[in-house]
């Protein structure tokens, strides 16, 4: 049996789940579990044995989840759906061209469900 060796890319998929009443959304409630499974199936279908899809805890851009991080490319994706997976796998994971319409950046990390709440210190989330 042939060995696969060290992966060329790692795809971290947020599978964090928060209570429904929490002020920040969770990727799992937005379908990241299905995206994770679709990525695993599609990378296998396309024969990408050098790409490792990994279940992750919170990746932080919660307001635009499901979120995905591709390393070592340093590419962040948000709002990924199962329908986006074949394009993401073929274009980025197989051919090294990020899918621009799914990319997120620093601005998305700074989004907060508490925007405009001057009574809390920056970054603090009120108890539920």
**Locus of tokens 């805890």:** 57
Q: What is the pTM of this model?
A: 0.85
* CATH ID of 9-106, from 3.40.250.10, 3.40.30.10, 3.40.50.720, 3.30.450.20: 3.40.30.10
| Domain chopping of the chain, boundaries | 9-106
pLDDT tens, 55-70?
A: 999 999 989 999 999 9
| pLDDT the model gives residue 2 | 46
The CA distance from 33 to 43, in Å, is 16
Contact assessment for residue 79 and residue 123, using Cβ atoms and an 8 Å cutoff: no
The CA distance from 43 to 36, in Å, is 11
The CA distance from 6 to 28, in Å, is 28
The pLDDT confidence band at residue 125, using thresholds 50, 70 and 90, is low
Closest-CA residue to 58 (of 14, 20, 23)? 14
Q: HEC states along 8-74? A: CEEEEEECCCCCCCCCCCCCHHHCHHHHHHHHHHHHHHCCCCCEEEEEECCCCCHHHCCCEEEECCC
**Locus of tokens 């709440």:** 117
- How long, in residues, is the chain? 128
């Amino acid at each position: 049996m042939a060995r696969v060796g060290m992966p060329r890319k790692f795809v971290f998929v947020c599978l964090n789940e928060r209570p429904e009443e929490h002020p920040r959304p969770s990727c799992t409630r937005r379908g990241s579990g299905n995206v994770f499974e679709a990525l695993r199936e599609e990378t296998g279908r396309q024969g990408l044995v050098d790409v490792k899809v990994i279940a992750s805890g919170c990746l932080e851009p919660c307001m635009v989840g499901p979120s995905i991080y591709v390393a070592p490319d340093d590419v962040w994706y948000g709002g990924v759906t199962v329908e986006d997976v074949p394009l993401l796998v073929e274009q980025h994971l197989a051919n090294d061209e990020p899918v621009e319409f799914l990319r997120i950046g620093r601005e998305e990390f700074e989004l907060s469900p508490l925007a405009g709440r001057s009574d809390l210190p920056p970054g603090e989330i009120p108890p539920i």
